[in-house]
Structure 1
Amino acid sequence: MALNKNILFFLGLSIAFSQQKDLFIKKSVAPVPPSPPRPPLHPKEDDSSFANIDEIRAFHYDLDFFVNFDEQRVQGNMTIQLFALANNVTQVILDQANLNINQIVDSNGTKLAYKIQTISPNVSDPILGAPLIIYLPHVFNQGNQTNITITYQTTGHDSALSWLTPEQTAGKDMPYVYTQNEPAYGRSWFPSQDTPSVKVAYTARVTIKKGFVVKMSAKDLQQVDLGNGFIQYYFTQRIEVPSYLITFAAGNLVEQKVGPRTSVITEPSQMAACAAELSDLETLLSSVESYLINYEWDEYKILVLPPSFPFGGMENPLLTFASPTIIVGDKSQVYVATHEIAHSWTGNQVTCANWENYWLNEGFTVFTERKISGQIYGYNFAQTEAYLNNKTMWDNMLSYGLDSNYTQLDPIQFFGVNPDNTEGEVSYEKGYQFLVFLESLVGEDTFQQFMRSYIQAFSGQSVIDLEMRTFFLTFIAKTFDPATAQSINSAIDWNEWFYGKGLPPVTADFMNDDIAAAQLLAQQYIRLGGIGSPDGYQKFNNYYMNQKVVFVQELLDNKDSLNADAFHRIQNDLNVQSIKNLEFRMRWDVLGINLKIKERVTDAQAVVGSMGRILYLTPIYTALVNNGFRDNANHFYQINEAFYSPLARNAIQSILGNSESKMTLMSSQGHPSVVRY
């Protein structure tokens, strides 16, 4: 649905850095009156985890597993070091989803009784699995430590693992596997306390057939040739991380340095293009480091995955995952790398304590990303990106319903639903706008000092928004005189920002001359209706990519006023069909599908068969279904189903209305509630 610009933007306002306070206009009328704000029901709990972390907590994992490509299984041992936080602890409860547990022993080798609890009726998403309850050999009291080792294997119903055939890779010569854990999928390939509030150091030993290269979100230590056709890789991660950042990839991989601290990893056939596109990684890393504080992870490595990867990027430390859709030849999608680099501080170093506070990861990261984009490419560039994503946030809110908790910055509670179902643009963009609003109250330099102080204060910790609020208020009390600090605090409606539904209590206006020019050109084409071309239309060729995206987005927002003749006139004048960047190409195909232009349906088939990024797949499949091309959509899905990741399959099946999806089969309900040894 098109954005209601009268709600979100006051058009025509040109904003400069010196006018930053003018970014915000108090919201006089909300689309839907927000519910009365209420405090969090359980600010420290994570209702996507079954783990009894208030009683006993993990502080180190040791993984020893075999990657079995023949059976598409991971199997091995998981040793967990635990520390009791309370007295009279008799059991450890871990998260798992669809794992086969063979046995569990303590540090003395004594077998421990355990059971997988039948899933509770009020847990609505089978991805969350069922609790693994392990009975300790004796009562543990506060301060006691113990080790348990779990022998297990995956079962094929593992939402985190994507197994690719050679044909699904770029080189087409070897199979490939990678994991995508965030937010709650990691439990499907290793048992853990799968919550961002628990951070652990970890070590790993990975056994695999010779010829495969393994990479993890950890430092490479050594490789040992076992002499029997297998090789072992050893890794260590000394910095504590949540379980969703413990990840690996294996395939035909090579690594190339592009800077003193930065490297690119990908398949050999893709290295030249990837290294060229990402040649500025060191500059980006240094820019973020200069804005924040010292980079603590020593190295930064980005793995460009095969095209089925469902996201733009994933911020695994020392092994950022990136979609090959960012490799377009003109560096126009390198901002994805800037975002993932910024996560090294906000997300990895300082982490949200539960998924209700996901905005502390994403809002802070988007804020830093756009600071760096503004420094490198100019203020309008960053504001244009914010404008486009603000539109996406509004569409997300409409899809949730404006009275939904998921339109809140802090949804308070997920009620057992897979948190991935709710992680849309609200956490990113509403969180970003909140931080820009705070910056407008204290000034850019002071807010930069706040960012640095916040990261230093909470380094290595997991936090909730109430802790962030307390820290901010303490910071301004120390920075300003009492009257000024009180004035700043009184300008912030914390409850409305955190728990108010729908749009923020003050609305950001990101309009600038670049946006206005692109929208004007689009409107001129619409008015001409295909009988002529606007004067000076060639200026489109000088637009930067996000400005071109604004142009096509304006056409989409006014698609009911655009005819096929105008569409073809634009295509011929501007040669837009040659644009490879999928931010543009996806929108152009969706626009053409809405206009029933069959050549765009044909191009859409090529797009959805070339990559698995959900951001681009779902609008195309939705447009096909909504515009009379459901049969095409079903056909496209059938021929690409094996290519897509489990997460992409689930998203597309929801659009197609399939009654049974592979994801719904990933249920723990089939596990009997029995005690095993």
Structure 2
Amino acid sequence: MDPHSYADFSQLLTDSIALDLFLDFERRIIVGSADFTLRQAFSGDFVLDTRDLLVRGAFDSSSPAKKPLAFDISSERHPIKGQRLVLHLPSPTSRFLILFTTSPQASALQWLDPSQASSGKHPFVYTHCQALHARSIFPCQDTPSARFRFSARINIPQEMRAVMSAAHVERLEAIAPGRAVEVFEMEQPIPPYLFALAAGEIACEELGARSRVYGEPGMVKAAAQEFAATEGMIEQAEALFGPYDWERFDMLVLPPSFPYGGMENPRMVFLTPTVIVGDRSGVSVVAHELAHSWTGNLITNASANDFWLNEGFTTYAERRIVEVLDGKERVALHYGLGWNGWEEEIERFKDRPEFTKLKTNQENVDPDEVYSQVPYEKGCFFLKRLEDEVSRPAFDDFLERYIAKFRFTSIDTETFLVFLRDYFPGIDEKVNVDRWIYEPGMPPDAPKPKSGILERVLGMVAEFKSQSESYDEEAWKKYLESLKEEVLGWQALEWQVYLESLPKKVASVMILRDLDSVFHLSRSPNWDLRVAFLVIAANSGFQACYNDIEQALMMVGRMRYLRPLYSGLLDSKDEAGMDLAKKVFAEARPKYHPIARSVVEGLMKAKDGKSNDGKLYEQ
């Protein structure tokens, strides 16, 4: 059922796991135990996923005697799945305990020195388990189909605080000299990739009755101002999709090395600090992670082959929330960005069209390697096409019933299609559903975004392209004057659509020099705008911006920025740019999350002809 897990689906699935985790910052390891409760008693060989774990023992915990259990762990590490752990259960039991220690190189963990944290006083650690990385923290059936409840006791230095994707129960002080224990409970069943933990110097600010923002002390107040409207956003989402089932929607703003815009961990969403700009322009990231509370967290894809069920639905839901907040004219800008992103992926996967399908075949494929905007954007445009065909009221009723039927379950694409066709008989006569799901590329009936605002922005893009193809200084100056008039009413989103729609490479760097001197894009406080401009500068070999590119690559580890900036420098055919990429990565590498390191290493190897592509492309 899942090409990325050793889990045997003819066996029972885990009901709950009780974790005890000792965080050793000096050795950068977690020493832990996991007490498993199965859905009913089982005997025979029980299979779990691990990656680089030292398994120190296994015991039958169903009785006070805790008899040792024999186990085998594969000596060879599969490049995608890791190592298979097989417990030998000689008689029926519903509980067993495993003792383990993580590796300092665990793919889900980033350990930060005090110098890498904002205060400089204490170290910091955080997890990222999507897609296959929970198995590097504790043994588990590491597939989205295996939902489980958990409790956790997190043993940390006394001066620190821990947060999790779970309800905080209590803090126990002075458990041992200089140590404290934070106790958590997650009563709703979640897939393993939503397991989340962070510990360090963490403060918090209240946002509303159900929401709070956490972060390092130096940034938490700015984050609270940025996300002040969160409670209202939750209410708008509930009006669209039904009751919020996770009690709280708290957020943790992580250090700059966090490799994603956000991660939808229930009860404790993780966010990049790059969304804190001061003008609340990062609200769409929060809207996306909030929407996951229904589509992704509540209803989950059964495997990576069905990833669009998470991200296509969530992107559609995010844009419905943004439409309520900002109106139809402005939400078209989000669809415009999505269309641009989709077209980039068509080019990226031109030799691997399998990965422009919604339902993919990822047998022997690392899901991180083919992570892209396809499930987000093609999935969203498919749902918008269905909405346009059946009417919004009918589609809203469909969504309500879909969420009610499959809540707290993991499903595959075929289960969704049965439900769709039962609900809308004859839908295939109006929409070529199989073409959308099983064939590559974007179908010709995809609803292209339209609005007056979007058309004006794209009009300025078209004029830029004309100017850049045949540079004439006088004509270019006139264009700059007209652009200065046009942007007087622009917000950050218009600028983002404009910059991300421009050619990635321009013939005359004089154009970039003038654009930057007028609008100061290379040092914009909005990271999306800054990087969009610097990507063009990198691809064009605009050396005047190389210091700004270096600064950006040293400051943040978000893969939405790293991949296009490094790619631009490496593909620019400018020796100075290629040398800069190698120099910066050698210095910045220790600051990046393990997943981000592999992205850039893949790009470097691809440039040297040693591999096909860098891994991962973040939305």
- TM interval, shorter chain, is over 0.9
Q: How does 1:635-674 map onto structure 2 within 5 Å?
A: 635-657=583-605
Tell me which residue corresponds to 1:571: 516
1:268 maps to: 217
Tell me the SS of whatever aligns to 1:316: coil
5+ unaligned residues in a row in structure 2: which ranges?
Answer: 611-619
1:613 counterpart residue number: 558
Residue 612 of structure 1 aligns to a residue whose secondary structure is coil
Aligned-partner residue type, residue 116 of structure 1? I
Aligned counterparts, 1:147-158, within 5 A: 147-158=95-106
Q: Which residue of 2 aligns with 1:520?
A: 459
**Structure 1 residue 379, shift from structure 2 partner:** 1.3
Specify the SS of the correspondent of 2:88. Answer: strand
What is the CA-CA distance between 1:167 and the residue it aligns to?
1.3
| Residue 112 (structure 1) aligned to one of 64, 69, 72 | 69
Choose from 181, 195, 207 the match for 1:246.
195
Work out whether 1:447 is the aligned partner of 2:395. yes
Aligned equivalent of 2:485: 538
- Out of 571, 575, 600, the residue aligned to residue 545 of structure 2 is 600
Query: Which residue of 170, 179, 184 maps to 2:118?
Result: 170
C-alpha change, 1:368 and 1:462, in structure 2 (3 Å) is same
Question: 1:578 Cα shift?
Answer: 4.6
Q: Distance in 1 between matches of 2:502 and 2:330?
A: 20
Q: Residue type matched to 1:130 in 2?
A: Q
Structure 2 CA distance, aligned partners of 1:443 and 1:65?
Answer: 50
Matched, 1:74 2:30: yes
Q: 1:94 aligns with which of 25, 40, 48?
A: 48
Q: Aligned partner of 2:535: which letter? A: V
**Which residue identity does 1:510 align to in structure 2?**
P
Structure 1: tracts of 5 or more residues without a match: 1-44, 477-484, 662-677
Under a length normalisation based on structure 2, what TM-score does the superposition of the two structures give? 0.92
More moved, 170-179 vs 499-508: 499-508
Deviation, 1:504, is 2.8
SS at match of 1:657: helix
1:31-78 Cα shifts (integer Å, max 9, x gaps): xxxxxxxxxxxxxx0110001132121010110110010100011100
Q: 2:160 aligns with which of 212, 230, 243?
A: 212
1:434 aligns with 2:434: no
Moved more, 445-454 or 595-604: 595-604
Deviations 1:578-628 (A, max 9, x none): 522222111211212233221211110111111100011110001111112
Aligned to 1:38: none
Counterparts of 2:344 and 2:351 in 1: how far apart (Å)? 10
Secondary structure at the aligned position of 1:388 is classed as helix
Distance in 1 (alpha carbons) for counterparts of 2:254 and 2:609: 29
- Do residues 130 (structure 1) and 83 (structure 2) align? yes
- 2:362 corresponding residue in structure 1: 414
Aligned twin of 2:498 = 551
Contact 1:556/1:587 (CA < 8 Å) preserved in 2? no
Would you say how many aligned residue pairs link Structure 1 and Structure 2?
594
Work out which of the residue numbers 367, 392, 396 in structure 1 matches 2:341.
392
> What's 1:317 paired with?
266
Q: Matched residues in 2 for 1:314 and 1:250: separation?
A: 16
User: How big is each residue's C-alpha offset from its partner over 1:107-126, in whole Å with a ceiling of 9 and x where there is no partner?
Assistant: 23111111112448xx5xx2
Report the equivalent of 1:6.
none
Counterpart of 2:432 in structure 1: which amino acid? D
User: 1:97–1:127: 8 Å Cα contact kept in structure 2?
Assistant: no
Cα distance, 1:574 vs structure 2: 2.9
The match for 2:616 is none
Report deviation, 1:387: 1.7
CA contact (8 A) 2:340 2:500 kept: no
The answer to whether 1:589 aligns with 2:543 is no
TM-score of the two chains, using structure 1 as the length reference:
0.85
Corresponding residue for 1:41?
A: none
1: CA distance, partners of 2:351 / 2:333: 25
* Aligned-residue identity in percent: 28
In the alignment, the residues of structure 2 paired with residue 642 and residue 618 of structure 1 have an alpha-carbon distance, to the nearest angstrom, of 17
In structure 1, C-alpha distance between the alignment counterparts of 2:569 and 2:370, rounded to whole Å = 24
Deviation at 1:496, TM superposition (A): 1.6
In 2, Cα distance between the equivalents of 1:471 and 1:236? 33
Paired position in structure 1 for 2:19: 63
Change (3 A) 1:103 1:57: same
Give distance in 1, aligned partners of 2:346 and 2:462.
26
C-alpha offsets along residues 90-113 of structure 1, whole Å, 9 cap, x if unaligned?
111000001000000012311111
- Taking only aligned residues, the RMSD between alpha carbons, in angstroms, comes to 1.9
TM-superposed CA distance for 1:538, in Å, is 2.5
Give the number of the structure with larger relative contact order, counting CA–CA contacts within 8 Å between residues 6 or more apart.
1
Deviations 1:210-229 (A, max 9, x none): 11100010000011111521
The C-alpha deviation readout for 1:341-399, integer Å capped at 9, x for no partner, is 00011111111111111111101100010011112112132221122222222222322
1:40 maps to none
Deviation, structure 1 residue 445: 1.1
Structure 2 counterpart of 1:103? 57
User: 1: distance between equivalents of 2:338 and 2:364?
Assistant: 28
Cα offset, 1:403, TM superposition: 4.8
Distance 1:545 1:95, change over 3 A: same
CA contact (8 A) 2:315 2:376 kept: yes
CA contact (8 A) 1:201 1:240 kept: yes
Q: Alpha carbons of 1:494 and 1:524: their partners in 2 closer, same or farther (altered >3 Å)? A: closer
Letter of the aligned partner of 1:162 in structure 2?
Q
Contact 2:43 2:90 in 1 (8 A): no
Write the distance in 2 (CA, Å) between the matches of 1:423 and 1:565: 35
Counterpart of 1:554 in structure 2: which amino acid? Answer: S
- Aligned equivalents of 1:239 and 1:407: distance in 2? 33
Q: Which residue does the alignment assign to 2:228?
A: 279
CA distance in 1, matches of 2:609, 2:59: 38
Q: What are the Cα deviations for residues 178-219 of structure 1, in whole angstroms up to 9, with x where unaligned?
A: 000001011001100000001111111111111110001000
**CA distance, structure 2, for counterparts of residue 310 and residue 238 of structure 1:** 28
Q: Are 1:181 and 2:129 counterparts?
A: yes
1:203 match: 151
Q: Give 2:441's aligned residue.
A: 502
**Mapped partners of 1:577, 1:622: distance in 2:** 18
Contact 2:162 2:199 in 1 (8 A): yes
Match of 1:383 among 329, 332, 336: 332
Asked if 2 retains the 8 angstrom alpha-carbon contact of 1:529 and 1:566, the reply is no
2: CA distance between counterparts of 1:352 and 1:554? Answer: 32
Structure 2: distance between partners of 1:77 and 1:547: 50
Separation (CA, whole Å) in 2 of partners of 1:441 and 1:457:
23
1:196 partner SS:
coil
Inter-partner Cα distance in structure 2 for 1:402 and 1:456: 40
Task: Answer whether contact 1:529 1:565 (CA < 8 A) is retained.
Answer: no
Rounded Cα–Cα distance in structure 1 between residues aligned with 2:176 and 2:12: 41
1:338 to 2:287 alignment: yes
Structure 2: distance between partners of 1:227 and 1:464: 47
C-alpha distance in structure 2 between counterparts of 1:657 and 1:403, whole Å: 19
Q: In 2, distance between residues paired with 1:61 and 1:150?
A: 11
Going from structure 1 to structure 2, the CA distance change for 1:391 and 1:521 (only over 3 Å counts) comes to closer
- Identify the match of residue 425 of structure 1 among 344, 350, 373: 373
Give the aligned partner of residue 567 of structure 2: 622
Give the Cα separation in 2 of the matches to 1:459 and 1:594: 45
Distance 1:638 1:403 in 2: 31
